[in-house]
Amino acid sequence: MHDDIRFTPDELSTLREHGVVLFASRVIFDAQPPMPQAQIAAVQALCAGPLPGGLLALWETTAGGRLDYDLSLEMSGNREGISWTELFWNGSDGYHDLQGWIDHEQELAEEAAKENGTPWSGKLTHLPIGGFEYTDRVYAVVEPGAEHGQIVAWKKGLPPAWTHALHEDSVNTIAPDLMAAFAALRLDEDPLAPAGDYFSGQTLLEYLATGTKSTGSTST
């Protein structure tokens, strides 16, 4: 969307009634209500450091929803498309909801600590905040230090039979903070005048046409 487009408070309210919110000049649809403070505090308690300001601003706007943009990163020498189609929220009907992904990361971290013979603090250094099913995930770095607040993407490698594809799990940084990560989201072609049958923005247009909204809960 263009940065010079402005909406009145009434227009923004109407958009929210239809499950659409604007954050960092990008559209989030199937947008949930703001995350309750008690739920934010519960997530904070699981992190090794403070929640980044950009993430708090997002959750104070919406607990989560869906995105429909293009995003690519250099990974293992290739330019890879990153599927960042969901902002995880509790109660979603996705592959996992927010707490489900947190539980998954805790299990992986505990297993890794045991394999390395090192104690585990029980705190996450990377908080899963979005992605697509089990193949792509986006994390906010919540460990104190120079990388705190960075937004990182993880992509699952595909079997060798998939030629010209990523064949090993890979990680790269999207941006130094969430606002910059949203700025990296783009539309490679105009969804109102697409060149092919599949294009980013298509799902958003279908959502706007049908008015379908998730009933996922954000309660604690």
Of 77, 84, 133, 83, give the one whose Cα is nearest residue 104: 133
- Maximum average pLDDT range among 32-41, 160-169, 210-219: 32-41
Q: Specify the range with the lowest mean pLDDT, choosing from 30-34, 75-79, 134-138, 209-213.
A: 209-213
Reported confidence tier of residue 220, pLDDT bands at 50, 70, 90: very low
How much is the pLDDT for 196?
79
| DSSP symbols for 136-162 | EEEEEE-SSSTTTT-EEEEEPPPPTTS
Residue 163 has pLDDT above 60, yes or no: no
Query: Which superfamily is assigned to 9-210 in CATH?
Result: SMI1/KNR4-like (3.40.1580.10)
How much is the pLDDT for 194?
84
Tell me which amino acid residue 205 is: L
Q: What is the mean pLDDT of the chain?
A: 88
How much is the pLDDT for 192?
86
Query: Phi and psi of 62, rounded to 5°?
Result: -155, 140
Tell me the mean pLDDT in the region 39-44. 98
What stretches of 86-196 adopt beta strand conformation (E)?
Answer: 86-87, 126-132, 136-141, 151-155, 170-175
Q: Which two tokens stand for residue 80?
A: 């890879």
- 177-193: per-residue pLDDT in tens? 999 999 999 998 888 88
Helix H or strand E segment including 23: strand 20-23
How much is the pLDDT for 6?
82
Q: Show me where the domains of the chain are located.
A: 9-210
Reported confidence tier of residue 219, pLDDT bands at 50, 70, 90: very low
Are 151 and 175 in contact, with CB atoms under 8 Å apart? yes
How much is the pLDDT for 71?
96
Using CB atoms within 10 Å of the CB of residue 123, give its burial: 0 to 12 exposed, 13 to 18 middle, 19+ buried.
middle
Tell me the mean pLDDT in the region 46-74. 97
Residue 166 has pLDDT above 60, yes or no: no
How much is the pLDDT for 158?
54
How much is the pLDDT for 160?
55
Using CB atoms within 10 Å of the CB of residue 141, give its burial: 0 to 12 exposed, 13 to 18 middle, 19+ buried.
buried
Residue 215 has pLDDT above 80, yes or no: no
How much is the pLDDT for 165?
53
Residue 217 has pLDDT above 50, yes or no: no
